[in-house]
Amino acid sequence: MRLSALLIGLMVAMPALSATWNIKYPRPMSDEDSRHQYPLQLLEKALEKTGVKYQLTPTDKILLQSKALKQLKGNREVSVVWSMTDEQREEEYLPIRIPIYKGLIGMRIPLVRKADEDLLKYVQSMEKLNLFSPLSGHDWPDTKILQANGFAVVTEENYEQLFTQLAAGKGDFFPRSVVEVWQELGKHENLISESHIALHYPTAMYFFVNKNNQSLARLIESGLEKLISSGEFEQLFLAAHQQSLTKAELDKRRIFRLDNPVLPAATPLARDELWHQPKSPD
């Protein structure tokens, strides 16, 4: 009787093991949108580590982050979204708590207009820095963080329009992650990186899945943990971002440390291997 039950169990499990996981992610805004390259590469390698058969494909249409998250919440169109975390997102979605960018999504280099190259050169205090208005996405966790630290934030729904707004003088600077800023600058010739300061706040970008999709969350987490253990995560991270870190010259900047009141308590800050810690003068 027990043998029969075991055989039945194996017969049920075998199709699940051989099935193909169809995983959809938000289609980027354009073929030139390079922000998807590293997260996708990391996700692909994590899935490969699990040994499952998978098909990773973009959605049929372009989805802005806010739309992609809505679709993910409703379990429609999208299987996985990568996004910066906050308390609300971790309540509504299921996070895989391994920081994709090892925390560098919170190390921000200000973009400014070319005419404002030295705009922040003599800013020595948060009180003075708060006199300038940053731009940020209206539904981004960054916006909540900036506002909580005393900034009057100029918001915009469309990512590309934020650069246009800055160029038009609608705000003073646009703080961009050190792992994104140089690729973005290459597409906006009328903007430059401010070279004297940086902002830093503790945060993480995670892969998120639907709240009820525990199996996919475990699959992705298992693959990422295997990449960490083998050292491949660190190799991939440095291959993708070491040049950006070198170019940022963080050791020559005044780094303003911001509080993050929306950082979830479950953030794995105690796992040193998950975070990159750039050196700075302070």
Calpha distance 222→228 (Å, rounded): 10
Strands (E), 89-204: 94-96, 107-113, 135-137, 154-156, 174-177, 191-193, 197-200
Q: Dig out the tokens for 176 from the structure.
A: 């961009």
Q: What pLDDT is recorded for position 103?
A: 96
| Beta carbons of 107 and 278 less than 8 angstroms apart | yes
Inform me whether the pLDDT recorded for 281 exceeds 50: no
Decide which of 28 and 129 is more confident: 129
Inform me whether the pLDDT recorded for 187 exceeds 90: no
Whole-model pTM: value is 0.86
Calpha distance 164→143 (Å, rounded): 18
Inform me whether the pLDDT recorded for 10 exceeds 90: no
State the average pLDDT over residues 24-48.
86
State the average pLDDT over residues 62-68.
88
Q: What pLDDT is recorded for position 71?
A: 95
